[in-house]
């Protein structure tokens, strides 16, 4: 009896021991597996307790790159389990996009893209670089072909050779991303460039689906001209994905249609991409084609998708938003013009006054703002300063040497282009930024010329203008008090006076009781030299030495 009882209890004891061995102790951390079990079959690769959502909104640029790099490092140091890039962008800068993709691959964190609600061009490339993609209802992404746009002008056509050079790194990027996670390579290439039509076909026996081109369609015994089933002329993509979206593509890479596959009962589901069009997919289309893992509408659904993890958002800082505004092309255009106007205005007036302070402020913003987030190169800032210095030497020390001024202008322009492009001009992505940067610099120079012309015509040497300038006295010391020059009469052409300061070429000359700001024509004029007024134009009074020397 006792032996029989033990034999009956043995199976029960074995079951209890197995359950006790499998069940975790109270308070024990069991990792992602426990999250997946408690969430009800959530795959371990997407299970997370702490989720960091990093919004990427607006145009992708160098500020986006710097901000995302900072936030990824912050998320890693805080110990989050999963990073979600919430994308809402029309596209952006090629170089910054490729650098962001490199940063995503270099990060040890699991990174998911959330298209909420759109990710075109650069946004689509970034989404493909992540470990997985989820899409908001009615979300859309794709259309990532490179374009050229000039500030204030719009889209410009790209020559075939230049387009091929820019497409090459993009194609390499999307193909590498597809191979890493098992997406169809030809499908993702259609985001970037035009090509032959692609079809979605299905094996009637196994239900397996795959993407084929025209050649593989022929191998399967299917014809592009076959209208019998009506598949090629059938419902629109949004309609057929509603019907067939429940059976998404398998993610494994496929080398191509083999001879063994041709015996299967394949049929065409629909044409995925037409010839001469770029691929753009919506929510259900992306899921059906194996580009997206599912639909996520809100933070709450994102938490459920990850097995109930808590969500924290890491937004851009206000300083990054400010730098983005300062480095936008309209603001840069105005700052370049203001810098040149203030620089020339300081040269045409003696001393270091309001014009000089304005020039320093504009230069500090143009060069310093990118430096705040590590986007400027030392050589670019150095060339800007060298260029301005050469122009100043041309105007003040050795007037008439045109080559010095031209060299300074070239150095200034190249330095500004280097500042605007981040200094990296060795790659196709960096060179793609050249037209836009050059357009901003040339536009700023043109705007400065217009501003100087208007200034000369509308302003005069009034007390309001002169009080904004620090007076340079004859002995070279600076007087910070406002000028109190008598203004009892207007100056006249041909009037003779005496240079109070050395004219390099700007300085001061006294005409009777009046002390006026003047600019010498030709060579440097020493203090005490007799000068004659040869031209009066707005705030500028030009003089030249008389033939007789002062007594």
d(CA 293, CA 508): 75
The whole-number average pLDDT for the span 429-438 is 73
pLDDT tens readout for residues 114-156: 999 999 999 999 999 999 999 999 999 999 988 766 666 666 6
* Mean residue pLDDT across the chain: 76
Better-scored residue on pLDDT, 437 or 511: 511
* CA count, 13 A, side-chain hemisphere, 528: 4
pLDDT tens readout for residues 370-424: 766 666 667 787 888 888 888 878 766 666 667 887 888 888 888 888 887 765 6
pLDDT tens readout for residues 193-231: 988 888 888 887 777 778 888 888 888 888 775 433 333
Query: What integer pLDDT is reported at residue 389 of this predicted model?
Result: 85
**Per-residue pLDDT band at 236 (split at 50, 70, 90):** very low
| Max avg pLDDT among 59-68, 432-441, 522-531 | 59-68
The whole-number average pLDDT for the span 12-34 is 36
**Per-residue pLDDT band at 351 (split at 50, 70, 90):** low
The answer to whether residues 34 and 66 touch, using CB atoms and an 8 Å cutoff, is no
**Per-residue pLDDT band at 248 (split at 50, 70, 90):** very low
**Per-residue pLDDT band at 428 (split at 50, 70, 90):** low
Better-scored residue on pLDDT, 549 or 156: 156
Query: What integer pLDDT is reported at residue 508 of this predicted model?
Result: 85
The whole-number average pLDDT for the span 456-485 is 45
Query: What integer pLDDT is reported at residue 208 of this predicted model?
Result: 77
The whole-number average pLDDT for the span 87-106 is 93
d(CA 501, CA 473): 7
Better-scored residue on pLDDT, 44 or 248: 44
Report the share of the chain in percent with pLDDT over 90. 29
- What topology is assigned to 470-545 in CATH? OB fold (Dihydrolipoamide Acetyltransferase, E2P) (2.40.50)
Residue 211: which of 133, 282, 139, 288 has the closest Cα?
288
The length of the chain in residues reads 551
Q: Where are the domains of the chain?
A: 33-193+278-316, 195-275, 322-458, 470-545
Query: What integer pLDDT is reported at residue 142 of this predicted model?
Result: 95
The 10 Å CB-count burial string (b at 16+, else e) for 10-37 is eeeeeeeeeeeeeeeeeeeeeebeebbe
Residue 178: which of 43, 279, 70 has the closest Cα?
279
Asked if the 33-193+278-316 domain carries CATH number 2.60.120.330, the reply is no
d(CA 181, CA 94): 23
Query: What integer pLDDT is reported at residue 77 of this predicted model?
Result: 96
d(CA 177, CA 231): 31
The answer to whether residues 67 and 81 touch, using CB atoms and an 8 Å cutoff, is no
Query: What integer pLDDT is reported at residue 264 of this predicted model?
Result: 63
**Per-residue pLDDT band at 255 (split at 50, 70, 90):** very low
Query: What integer pLDDT is reported at residue 155 of this predicted model?
Result: 61
Query: What integer pLDDT is reported at residue 235 of this predicted model?
Result: 34
pLDDT tens readout for residues 304-341: 999 999 999 999 998 888 888 888 888 989 999 998 88
Query: What integer pLDDT is reported at residue 28 of this predicted model?
Result: 35
Q: How many CB atoms lie within 10 A of CB 110?
A: 19
Q: Are strands 82-89 and 110-120 parallel, antiparallel or unpaired?
A: parallel
């Amino acid at each position: 009896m006792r032996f029989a009882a033990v034999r009956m209890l043995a199976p029960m004891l074995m079951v209890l021991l197995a359950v006790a061995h499998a069940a975790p102790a109270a308070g024990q951390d069991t990792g992602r597996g426990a999250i997946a079990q408690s969430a009800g079959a959530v795959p371990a690769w997407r299970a997370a307790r702490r989720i960091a959502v990093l919004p990427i909104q607006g145009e992708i640029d160098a500020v986006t790159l710097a901000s995302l790099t900072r936030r990824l490092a912050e998320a890693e140091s805080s110990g989050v389990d999963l990073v979600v890039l919430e994308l809402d962008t029309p596209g952006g800068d090629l170089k910054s996009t490729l650098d962001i993709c490199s940063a995503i691959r270099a990060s040890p964190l699991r990174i998911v893209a959330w298209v909420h609600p759109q990710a075109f061009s650069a946004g689509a490339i970034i989404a493909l670089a992540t470990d997985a993609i989820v899409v908001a209802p009615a979300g859309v992404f794709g259309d990532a072909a490179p374009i050229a746009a000039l500030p204030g002008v719009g889209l410009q056509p790209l020559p075939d050779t230049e387009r091929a050079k820019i497409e090459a790194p993009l194609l390499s990027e999307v193909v590498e991303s597809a191979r890493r996670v098992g997406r169809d390579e030809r499908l993702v290439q259609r985001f970037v460039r035009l090509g032959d039509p692609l079809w979605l076909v299905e094996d009637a026996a196994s239900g397996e689906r795959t993407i084929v081109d025209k050649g593989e369609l022929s191998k399967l015994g299917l014809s592009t001209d076959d209208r019998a089933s009506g598949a090629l002329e059938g419902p629109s993509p949004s309609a057929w994905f509603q019907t067939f979206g429940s059976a998404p593509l398998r993610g494994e890479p496929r080398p191509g249609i083999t001879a063994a596959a041709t015996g299967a009962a394949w049929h065409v589901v629909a044409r995925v991409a037409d010839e001469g069009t770029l691929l753009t997919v919506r929510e259900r289309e992306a899921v059906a084609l194996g580009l997206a893992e599912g639909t996520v509408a809100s933070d709450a659904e994102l938490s459920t998708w990850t097995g109930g993890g808590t969500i924290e958002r890491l937004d851009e800082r206000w300083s990054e938003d400010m730098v983005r505004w300062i480095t936008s092309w309209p603001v840069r255009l105005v700052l370049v013009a203001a810098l040149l106007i203030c620089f020339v205005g300081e040269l045409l007036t003696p001393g270091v006054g309001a014009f000089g302070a304005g020039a320093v402020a504009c230069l500090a913003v143009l060069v310093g703002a990118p430096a705040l987030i590590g986007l400027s190169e030392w050589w670019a800032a150095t060339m800007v300063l060298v260029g301005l210095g050469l122009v100043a030497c041309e105007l003040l020390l050795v007037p008439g040497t045109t080559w010095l001024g031209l060299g300074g202008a070239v150095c200034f322009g190249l330095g500004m282009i280097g500042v605007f492009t981040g200094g990296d001009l060795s790659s196709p992505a960096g060179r793609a930024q050249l037209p836009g940067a050059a357009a901003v610099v040339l536009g700023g120079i043109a705007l400065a010329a217009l501003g100087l012309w208007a200034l000369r015509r509308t302003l005069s040497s009034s007390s309001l203008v002169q009080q904004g300038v620090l007076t340079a006295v004859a002995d070279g010391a600076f007087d910070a008090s406002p000028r109190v020059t008598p203004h009892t009469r207007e100056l006249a052409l041909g009037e003779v006076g005496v240079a109070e300061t050395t004219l390099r070429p700007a300085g001061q000359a006294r005409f009777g009781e009046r002390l006026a700001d003047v600019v010498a024509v030709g060579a440097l004029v020493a203090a005490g030299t007799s000068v004659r007024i040869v031209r009066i134009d707005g705030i500028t009074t030009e003089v030249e030495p008389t033939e007789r020397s002062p007594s």
